[in-house]
Structure 1
Amino acid sequence: MFGRLGLRLRVFLIFCLLALGGMAIVAGALVLGYMRAGRPELAGAFVLSGVLAGFLFLGLVAGIWFLFDENVARPIVRLAAALRARAHAGASGDIDLHGARYLGDLAPAAQAVTGQLMQSALDTAGAVATETARLQAERDRLTALLTDIPVAMMIVSPAHRIVLYDGQAAEVLAQVAPPRLDASLFDYFDRGAVEEAHVRLTQTGREVAFRALGARGAQGYDARLKPLGGAPGYMLVIDAEEARIAPEAARPLVYDFGLLDTPGDELFENRPLSGLCYVAFDTETTGLLPHKDAVLQIGAVRVLRGRPVEGEELDLLVDPGRPIPPASTRVHHITDAMVAGAPDIAAAGRRLHDFARDAVLVAHNAPFDMAFLRNDADRMGVTWDHPILDTVLLSAVLFGPGEVHTLDALCGRLDVEIDPADRHTALGDARATALALCRMLPILEARGMKRFGDVIAETRRHGRLLEDLN
């Protein structure tokens, strides 16, 4: 049990034991001296001496503990966090040698080791970049070829979750809800028709034609299910002409074939961190009071398998239905003219809710943003019951509660670059939060927090940070 406590807390407890032991020794010595003296009139003098000695000893131990904590324990915690960030999140930059100056040669030695590791990582990254460029060129050629084929195409896992979709399929899906990797196909199409066709596909092993009915009363399409030649899952093909999609439209591919092997549903608390879908989001508002102010902008980024999904973002301006205070405009640069004609919070909130379905919501100081969303939940007609992670608390878990936990400070520790032009925009801050999350996930796993429930249990220990922040 003692080994699970933080280093600084363990050191503090050691000094507490030292203080108690020292005071017990002083008290014992004074009692022994009083008994040997055999003079009752000296009792007051012995008690006074004991009290003074006790306070002086406590002061001495407290002073030594403070110096040890500031110059040894805290720098060790910072050094450990910096090394984990470099080992598991790819962060670079120099270690704070000045802050660790009382640790002898430990910090310079750590700097030398991380320097060698970073050089090896750079050499490997160069080779990976070359291969990535080749694969990207092949992907671009495939995209160009697919553009001329008049179909919308998706690849779906055996659990009926979307693994790949092209640009035309994205337009079909968007008629119901924002297109999303790892989303259930039944968020977009009627379950009965798809499952009946899938049964026939499984029984015959051959292509099956059927009528795919859109969910929520959306348009239906003539569609086909095709086997993947021995791979798990199937392909869903829809005639693009019936879907009224221009064949010359660009057709970027969005995919992650690792999702074909994703295990089935289980409680969020038991799911591995790397297997969860996250939606990092941020809001810009007319002010800082959720019960009085309103949302002006929503930005969101989907994260799957430890990286942001290219092209799966939301960037929505919201009409607050009231004038924007000049003081707020100076922060986020959103004006009344910019939000004129934008959707209200009811429509914008529903889009975010659809975008984040089956995902963990992630925000920096989540209680602030969630308070605005929940205040308008009735107007949206939704319930915000998603699991939530707060990057302020994740930062406290990894770097210690005594550090600064602003978004800028967190991104600085993790080498996440924020374009100044994007700071204090909803999408810019959501992207920064998503990238910071991606850097923190492997550090959390290396610290033994491999499942969502493990992380939630750790973050609850630092809940006071959010109370102070808000």
Structure 2
Amino acid sequence: MNSETDIVPIAGRFRGFLPIVVDVETGGFDNRRDALLELAMVVLRIDEKGELRRYRTYNWHIEPFPNANLDPKSLEVNGIKPFSPLRLAVPEEKAMEEFFRIVRKEVKLNECNRAILVGHNAPFDLGFVQSAAHRVDSKRNPFHPFSTLDTVTLGAVMYGQTVLARIAQAAGMGWDASQAHSAVYDVEKTADLFCHFVNTWNTLDAAFKAVES
């Protein structure tokens, strides 16, 4: 895999956008009222074979912002205890500052113009990222404000499935239900699936071009 700076730029593959895979765990479904509790992202790189691969995973446990709503049903699903000291949570402002700084660095390294969020039900994740950016008054949010790349759509097209676990199983990747709804596990599965879709398309595209020639 490529070193930190010696990389094959992704700029030409996605029209100047850099795909950054993101998953959030939250205190509900309303990105304006409910807490952002965990944020994970995967940085992708092109390997020596010219294929897109997971390069590095980052993860933040985040303190609920003041007066944030915490829906007990959501906490039951994700298993997060928001005020447990064992979480080693950081303030939302610190998490978003670090998150955006890493993304901006990757955008520059890959000679891209902007990041585009990749997720499973990606508008949900983007909504929480954008709301958090607004709360902390971030001036340098590197993500496209509304466009996303969604593995729900890609999974439906390729496998006729829309649930993350079922798409992963259809792709032969397996699924550990005991780890599901952990931001890190979900984001890495989403990243592997996105890379699988891109690499499969590249292979098919090359085969079509070979036949045409």
What TM-score, normalized by structure 2, do the two folds share? Answer: 0.74
Find out whether 1:411 has 2:162 as its counterpart.
Answer: no
Question: Which of 343, 347, 354 in structure 1 is aligned with 2:101?
Answer: 354
Aligned 8 A contact 2:34 2:69 in 1: no
Q: Please name the residue that 1:445 is paired with.
A: 202
User: Residue 419 of structure 1: CA displacement?
Assistant: 2.5
**CA distance in 2 between partners of 1:406 and 1:393 (Å):** 10
Q: Which runs of 5+ in 1 are unaligned?
A: 1-162, 165-180, 183-256, 450-470
Letter in 2 for 1:442: N
Letter in 1 for 2:133: A
Letter in 1 for 2:141: T
Aligned 8 A contact 1:277 1:302 in 2: no
Q: Please name the residue that 1:345 is paired with.
A: 92
Larger % of strand: which? 2
Question: Which of 305, 318, 330 in structure 1 is aligned with 2:62?
Answer: 318
Indicate the structure whose relative CO is greater, using CA pairs within 8 Å and at least 6 residues apart. Answer: 2
**CA distance in 2 between partners of 1:433 and 1:441 (Å):** 12
User: Residue 268 of structure 1: CA displacement?
Assistant: 4.0
Larger % of helix: which? 1
Letter in 1 for 2:33: K
Q: Which runs of 5+ in 2 are unaligned?
A: 47-51, 108-114, 207-213
User: Residue 376 of structure 1: CA displacement?
Assistant: 2.4
**CA distance in 1 between partners of 2:185 and 2:172 (Å):** 16
**CA distance in 2 between partners of 1:434 and 1:408 (Å):** 13
**CA distance in 1 between partners of 2:13 and 2:19 (Å):** 15
**CA distance in 2 between partners of 1:377 and 1:440 (Å):** 30
User: Residue 442 of structure 1: CA displacement?
Assistant: 1.9
Letter in 2 for 1:362: V
Find out whether 1:302 has 2:78 as its counterpart.
Answer: no
Larger radius of gyration: 1
Instruction: Give deviations 1:28-55, integer Å, cap 9, x for gaps.
Output: xxxxxxxxxxxxxxxxxxxxxxxxxxxx
Q: Please name the residue that 2:125 is paired with.
A: 369
Aligned 8 A contact 1:284 1:332 in 2: yes
**Percentage identity across aligned positions?**
25
In angstroms, what is the RMSD of aligned CA positions? 2.9
Aligned 8 A contact 1:377 1:383 in 2: yes
Question: Which of 74, 80, 83 in structure 2 is aligned with 1:328?
Answer: 74
What TM-score, normalized by structure 1, do the two folds share? Answer: 0.36
Instruction: Give deviations 1:298-318, integer Å, cap 9, x for gaps.
Output: 111222112111xx2112111
Cα 1:383–1:343 shift into 2, 3 Å: same
Q: Please name the residue that 2:186 is paired with.
A: 429
Cα 1:337–1:442 shift into 2, 3 Å: same
Q: Please name the residue that 2:149 is paired with.
A: 389
**CA distance in 1 between partners of 2:63 and 2:9 (Å):** 41
User: Residue 292 of structure 1: CA displacement?
Assistant: 2.1
Aligned residue pairs total 185
**CA distance in 2 between partners of 1:333 and 1:304 (Å):** 31
Cα 1:380–1:347 shift into 2, 3 Å: farther
